[in-house]
Amino acid sequence: MIITDELFRISLAKLFRTGIPAKVAIALSGGPDSMLLAWLLRNHKRRSNNLDIYAITIDHKYRPESHREAWRVHEWVNDWDINHIVKALEYKDNLDPSTMNNFEEVARDERYKVMSEICNRESIPALFMGHHRDDQLETFIQRLQGNSSIFGLAGTRSLSPLPVARDLSPAESPAQRRLQVQIVRPFWEFDKADILETCEANGIPYVTDPTNKDASLTRRNYLRYLIGEVIPNRCVALHPDGSTDDIDLTSPYLSIQRSELVKLHASCHEFATLFEDKAQRLSQYLRSHDLVKEYPQLGSLELTLPRPCFQETNCMVTSRFLYRILHLYSTLKHYHWAYAKLERQLIPRIAQFLEQHKPGTLKITMMNLVFEVTNNDQLDLIPMKIYRCPIVTKNAGAIEKQLSLGAEWSEWELFDSRFWIRARSRASQKQIRVIPYLHKIHKPIVEESLLAEFRPNAKYNTLPVFLEEDTQKIIAFPTLSIDLPDIGLEYEWSLKSNRFAYCEQPSTA
């Protein structure tokens, strides 16, 4: 099937309810997917005459010829009225990417980092990518092999936030720049064959990357080979004389041929979308009824959930809701794995506790958080407190941050993977250690002047405090805005941004 301008327009209309943004970017690798995407957007611009298009080509330096290919792409799109940017990746310690065991992961993170920087610099809210149905299918099989949840099996959505490999400081975050870049995938409902056919019919040039056919290079390449060549050959009937039929109805491989996998993935995607939408509606309901109370200064929150949230299929909805909001408070390094813990461990344990119909409180520690659930059978609402789990004394040192303060602001430091903090000293140079408050240990070294109006207790455990190196006294609880007067100390703090929050549509402005 050829992807016409009209089919592309329909795809865009599904993605943008209020119209395509005035400025967009394309991840332009030079392959057929992204080249067709650039060509169709160029056609769309000619019709609408109000679209500013940027194309970003990344030179991964994996192959010697990659630099030359990047500039060949530049020549192709030079007459398409597209702002083309070619950027070569720089790897840590100047490592040769061809020697990396985890090249695919490293290159992906660096690629997204560069594209994010460009989109933010140019105020581009939407980054188009040429991902198609075959890409979804390969991801589906990978995650099926990894025992993924239904949301993992569904794959990425046609509209999703630009992935960020690390937590951004307030100076870097979208909240500061008032821009959240979204990835847009208008080819999700088209096959690779459709893209190749459309390129051929319209004479659209593209680069062919030979590494994409090397089944030994990446797991995705191997799956592509498996789906496209191995399984189809196993489904063909082979006769003694060497002749073949179109299909062997007795082949055990029929259930995993491409067409069947596409159907299975579509079912998973539909199912996951249904529950994701329900989780988002639950979030909206709880917030509109003041049932979500967040305490950023304490790094904690309190939820009040209707009892049905812990019954039957609602458990999955509740798990997904929690996953979307807890990143701010969790210190997990690999938070994207957290959903399975919520669905398969936390929520079932809470549901079992409530089914006993006994009054009391259940405490569960998971994801470096304490979930404190109280049951009262006379009430239809279940209160839940969520806060940082206690920090073991021997682990406190690994969390500490050292600040050398002068008249200029220090660099932002991420404390305990939760709080961004920076400070400066107007009066004199100061050496400050930011440490987690442990009441039993640190109460005796809280500066006496602070105690005149403030009584610290175990409630403040794990919060960052400023320890002055010269006096070995705690002189500030920055997130509580409590400090010694007249010492010339200024500070700013913020919870980290939620990288797993619900996606909003890019603005058309």
Rounded average pLDDT per 10-residue block, the chain, 509 residues: 93 90 92 94 87 88 71 87 85 64 70 86 92 89 87 87 80 62 92 94 86 70 78 66 60 78 90 93 96 96 97 95 95 89 96 94 96 93 97 92 94 96 90 95 91 88 95 95 87 91 59
The number of C-alpha atoms within 13 Å of 228 and in the hemisphere containing its C-beta is 16
What is the model's pLDDT at position 221? 80
Domain boundaries, the chain: 5-208, 219-269, 276-388, 393-495
Task: Write down the CATH superfamily of domain 5-208.
Answer: HUPs (3.40.50.620)
Rounded Cα distance, 355 and 474, in Å: 46
Tell me, what's the pLDDT at 239? 52
Do 159 and 15 contact (CB within 8 A), yes or no? yes
Q: How far apart are CA 200 and CA 255, in angstroms?
A: 32
Closest listed residue to residue 142, CA positions, set 133, 151, 155: 155
Rg, Å, the chain Cα set: 27
Q: Is the pTM of this model over 0.85?
A: no
Burial of residue 138 (CB within 10 Å: 0-12, 13-18, 19+) is buried
Neighbours of 253 (CB within 10 A): 15
Instruction: Please state which of the four CATH numbers 1.10.10, 3.40.50, 3.30.450, 2.10.240 is assigned to the domain occupying 276-388.
Output: 3.30.450
CB atoms within 10 A of CB 196: 15
The strand pair at 401-405 and 430-436 is best described as: antiparallel
